[in-house]
Amino acid sequence: MTNPWARREIWFLALAVLLAAAGGALFYWSRATTLTIAVAPAGGTEPALLRAYAAALAQRGSGVRLTIVPFDGVRESAEALQEKRVDLAVVRPDVTMPRDGLTLAILREQAILVATPASSGIAAMPDLAGKRLGLLARRTADRALIEAVLDSAGLGPEAPAGAVVLVPLEESEVTAAFTGSRIDALVLVTTPTTPAARRIVQAVQDAGPDREAVLFGVSDAAAILARHPKLQAVTVPAGLYGGRPRLPAEEVATVGPSYRLMARSDLSRSRAAEVTQHLFEMRAGLAEAVPVAESLLPPAYETTAAAVSARLPIHPGALDYYEREQESFIERYESWIYLVAIFGGGIGSAGAWLRQRLSRLRRHRVEVATQRLLEIRSLARRSTEADRLRAMAAEIDDLAASIARHALRRPTDPRTMTAASVALDAARSTVARALAPMQVG
């Protein structure tokens, strides 16, 4: 017969394998996912914001962690995303738009604005023809953008009324450049609500004799957007820079670039939604350390179809967050749950079959012992040899011990045990009766 301890070890091993599989599945589903993110430009506000975001995710113990990969410029960070060397990246679409890059959030929205003292007589883009335009473009991308916009507005080098002359300036030189007649107006590529934008507009106001300024955007913004689809429409509210008199006097419609957090298109919807959700949920806390967090915006869209088919498409996972349609745990791991259910059902069925098979084997052994007892009874009735009868008696004892061990260690069918008990009593009594006359003689 099979060693009962060996059978126990088989069951313990099977249980250990199942527990290990369940533990492995639980670890896989609960572990944090680490995503790599390319940040740029060096020295800009976006790297500081995303480093703070990565630290906040780690401190919170979120299911998503970020590994920062710094780059000097947004062109390089976009190329890293396009080449799939990172999962997320800071991208300025008008510089480089990565293939399959999808927007999660707008980190910073910029506007192209022109500011000039009210006494200059300049009130709109056409008035800049032949004028000197100060430019605070510290980045090559900003100067290239301004040149493209001026060319689209008919103010480029081939302009019949005279090309605009760009004059590079530092922020500290703005007021002196106006009073010294070095420039007639100043063009800004800036986030309108930032303290830096307010300082520069104040410097323009200080340059005028009446301390008043005029602020306007690009002409024919729709036409500019049609020619430069990686830009976006921006509206600057009236009175943003002062109320008496209001500056600007009316809403200013213009265009501008944006710095976006983008993800690869093959990043799962659930992960994209999680990154987007945490970013906006933590915005208030991040703004305490990095004020630019207040500039975070969701990308504008009207319908879901328009969002995923736009010139700057939005990641479906980000849309899930914006539309409050994030996947539940069941939806996220539906395939795995089905596989585990099927696999678990298979294991359960196999276990039931094995248990049933072992039960039949145990019953069969008891039945074999019972059959042997009945055979011994028949042989004892015909036997006349005392030694043979004594051997039968010893065999009966062995069979009785075997049946008892099975009954103690494993549950056995009552009918089978009853039959075995009856056969055991019958065999013993028959052998005893056959031996009695021989022992007297």
Q: Are residues 318 and 340 in the same domain?
A: no
DSSP 297: B
Q: Are residues 298 and 412 in the same domain?
A: no
The answer to whether the peptide bond before residue 47 is cis (omega within 30 degrees of 0) is no
Q: Are residues 172 and 247 in the same domain?
A: yes
Tell me, what's the pLDDT at 329? Answer: 42
Q: Are residues 43 and 82 in the same domain?
A: yes
The answer to whether the peptide bond before residue 160 is cis (omega within 30 degrees of 0) is no
Q: With contact defined as beta carbons under 8 Å apart, do 98 and 262 qualify?
A: yes
Token pair in block for residue 138: 């510290």
Q: With contact defined as beta carbons under 8 Å apart, do 39 and 69 qualify?
A: yes
Token pair in block for residue 214: 């005029």
**Residue closest to 220 by CA, chosen among 212, 209, 228:** 228
Q: Are residues 66 and 176 in the same domain?
A: no
Tell me, what's the pLDDT at 74? Answer: 94
Q: Are residues 142 and 273 in the same domain?
A: no
Could you give the CA distance from residue 128 to residue 163 in angstroms, rounded to a whole number? 8
**Structural domain harbouring 196:** 111-256
Q: How many independent structural domains does the chain possess? A: 4
The answer to whether the peptide bond before residue 248 is cis (omega within 30 degrees of 0) is yes
Q: Are residues 156 and 268 in the same domain?
A: no
DSSP 268: -
Tell me, what's the pLDDT at 36? Answer: 96
DSSP 314: B
Q: Are residues 371 and 410 in the same domain?
A: yes
Q: Are residues 364 and 243 in the same domain?
A: no
Sequence-separated (6 or more) residues with CB below 8 Å from residue 105: 260, 261, 276, 279, 280, 296, 297, 298, 299, 318
Residues of the chain with pLDDT under 70: 1-31, 137, 243, 325-363, 409-412, 439-441
Tell me, what's the pLDDT at 86? Answer: 97
Tell me, what's the pLDDT at 28? Answer: 46
Tell me, what's the pLDDT at 46? Answer: 93
Q: Are residues 238 and 275 in the same domain?
A: no
Q: Are residues 26 and 43 in the same domain?
A: no
Tell me, what's the pLDDT at 66? Answer: 95
Q: Are residues 345 and 422 in the same domain?
A: yes
In the listed set 268, 303, 330, which residue is the last one of a domain according to the structure? Answer: 330
85: domain CATH number is: 3.40.190.10
Tell me, what's the pLDDT at 333? Answer: 46
